Amino acid sequence: MMRAVLLALAAALPAPAGAACRLALALGIDVSRSIDEADYAIQREGLLAALADPVIVAAFLVPEDHVALAVYEWSGQAYQEIVVDWTPVLGESDLAGIMDRIRTHHRGGEGLPTGLGAALDFGRDLVDKAPDCATRTLDLSGDGRSNDGRGPEVVYAREDFGDILVNGLPIGGHEADVAVYYRERVIRGPGAFVEIARTQADYPRAIRRKLEKELTEQLMGSSEPVAPRG
């Protein structure tokens, strides 16, 4: 089934003139004070496992036009740090290099609150610096509502996100209804979606499934449309 989706994607994706990149994808990862060392390890290892999964590797590499990937961590409004700057994924060696940088990165931002608005601001600026790609997606994960600085709704009302799609990976177990919060206030754009992790232990499954959707189904327009915010 997945092979059929990948082959259909390869055939159906548009090839804009002069565009060598089909998707710029930025992953924003919550490292605020509610994320303890055990949670952080689950997130890091879950992302590494997803990037090594054969289905995800194939989703990166099957179409002719490539994907550019960036990864950053965020917590309070004063802390956002790039873990992996924009990297064109042209082959498995590029994914291996990305994984090495994630694996050897030393976490920062411990003990700080949750600045989702600042994380969105930083992610927008990062995506604006991406290589020239046909589509642009910001992928934010987190386990709580914004409690530091501007909230997502204020950022969307005041800042121009243009054609940037924002997806969310809310992590349950820490705050009630965090998935509803992400669905109503964080995601943005036609086809934007949330992929829910019921607890931190469910994060590896959720990030793998989220990447699969972003690299295949969403590019083909099969996700349920959501009206743009802001």
Note the pLDDT tens digit of each residue in 188-223: 999 999 999 999 999 999 999 999 999 998 877 634
Q: Does the predicted TM-score (pTM) go above 0.85?
A: yes
- For the cut 70, the answer to whether the pLDDT of residue 16 exceeds it is no
- CA separation for the pair 44, 90 (Å, rounded): 23
- pLDDT of 92 > 60? The answer is yes
pLDDT band at 47 (very low <50, low <70, confident <90, very high): very high
Domain boundaries, the chain: 22-220
Q: Write the pLDDT tens digit of every residue in 149-163.
A: 999 999 999 999 999
Q: What share of the chain is helix, strand, coil (3-state, %, to 5)?
A: 45, 20, 35
pLDDT interval class at 109 (50, 70, 90): confident
The per-residue b/e assignment along 87-122, b for 16 or more CB within 10 angstroms, e otherwise, is bebeeeebbeebbeebeeeebebeebbbbbbbbbbb
CATH of region 22-220: 3.40.50.410
